[in-house]
Amino acid sequence: MARLTMTDAGRIYLDHNAGAPLRPRVAGLVGDLLTRVGNPSSVHGEGRAARALVEAARAQVAGLCGVPAPHVAFTSGATEANVTALSPLWKAGRGERQFTRVLIGGTEHPSVTAGGRFPESQREILPVDSDGVVDVAALAARVHALSVAGALPLVAIQAANSETGVLQPLAEIARVLDGTSAILHVDAVQAAGRIAIDMAGWGAHSLALSAHKIGGPQGVGALVLRDAGLRPAPLLTGGGQENWNRAGTENVAAIAGFGLAAELVAAETGCWDEIATFRDGLERALCHIWSDTVVFGTGVPRLANTSCFAVPGVSAETALIALDLAGIAVSSGSACSSGKVGVSPVLTAMGVSADLARGAIRVSLGRDNGEAEIERFLAAWRQISGRIRQAGAGRAA
């Protein structure tokens, strides 16, 4: 493995859950395609060439998910895919299904917790335990109660949490929902390329993906359907692009880059054991530096690359600024909710106190990170957190 992932010379990038660096081969492809003309809906040669690129990418993304290519609809990103899926109205063959309630995991991405196109009165948040795992018994009870009442529920549970890396028990949830009228949407953004995507095993009727989490370009994602005959009403209407699932001229260059990134990441499964070793060593060292370090989600399966931790008395806002000045990029949680450092809704749902949650730092590793970068982060963290704690002790005195 290469040992450096830099945004600028000398900087270390440890924020891959927010966005992975653009892969060189993807950058080359996208750059070349930006100079080409051709609307994929046009029938002339240039249009057909553009259409071929889109369809090739569709097959590549479908391959990552283990579904037929026509089951992939490209979007502007996972947020659009999530909002599209969270629709009260779904097309079922020539008929329709009208969902009357959406049940949302308590630690979901903001694009899911916002409820999509369901009115606020039809949204419910499911409880999670102290590790952030959805209470499957509570989910089962709620689905049963809604079914008895004649309601039709749509369930939204992520595959992996962006802040803690915690994996949800999707196979268990699939067993609970099997035989009910509920359907399941899975936000698989953080899972893609890190664990196997198994729509059938997860019981997922739809899932959301984002290209820039796997080294593709920003601004492109996908809504993937397990059954093309059961699909949400389109969010964007107009033309018949994306098999009538999403109107608007396709972004050919970005979509082609997404496809190539999906093909490349599908071949890299072997690197995650080594990354897990680095992550575990990082957490042992953090706890050695400060014995009162709290690492979140360690009681359950997590993504191999993700560590979310806090030290009492260490403000994440102050630490992030200092680490950035030291040339190290980490974060305090989801990039979609941490423009200003505050209390993470994910950690709040897990029952973490506000004081501790304000200190949460997330380190998320990529395939190119290595031991030297982790050692540099730890040295910086020891110095910076020590200064912050000392300053806090001085103010208290």
SS3 content of the chain, % helix, strand, coil (to 5): 40, 15, 45
Nearest in space to 112 (alpha carbons), one of 32, 208, 18, 254: 208
Extract the tokens encoding 10.
């000398």
Strand spans (E) along 178-238: 183-187, 206-210, 221-225, 230-232
Q: Which of 271, 287, 308, 336 is catalytic?
A: 336
Nearest in space to 211 (alpha carbons), one of 131, 280, 130, 265: 265
Find out whether 111 and 78 touch, Cβ atoms under 8 Å: yes
Task: Estimate to the nearest angstrom the gap between the alpha carbon of 161 and the chain centroid.
Answer: 7
- Rounded-to-integer distance, Cα 124 and Cα 130, Å: 19
Tell me which amino acid residue 337 is: S
The Cα-based distances of 72 to 58, 124, 246 in angstroms read 6, 28, 11
Phi, then psi, of 190 in degrees rounded to 5: -80, -20
Residue whose structure tokens are 């999509």 = 116
Paired with 230 in beta bridges are: 92
Helix, strand, or coil here: 103?
A: strand
Paired with 156 in beta bridges are: 104, 185
User: Is 271 a residue of the active site?
Assistant: no
- Rounded-to-integer distance, Cα 328 and Cα 14, Å: 7
Alpha-helix residue ranges (DSSP H) falling in the chain = 24-33, 45-65, 78-85, 110-113, 136-148, 170-177, 199-202, 252-266, 272-289, 316-325, 345-349, 354-357, 371-396
Alpha-helix residue ranges (DSSP H) falling in 221-312 = 252-266, 272-289
User: Which residues are identified as catalytic?
Assistant: 336
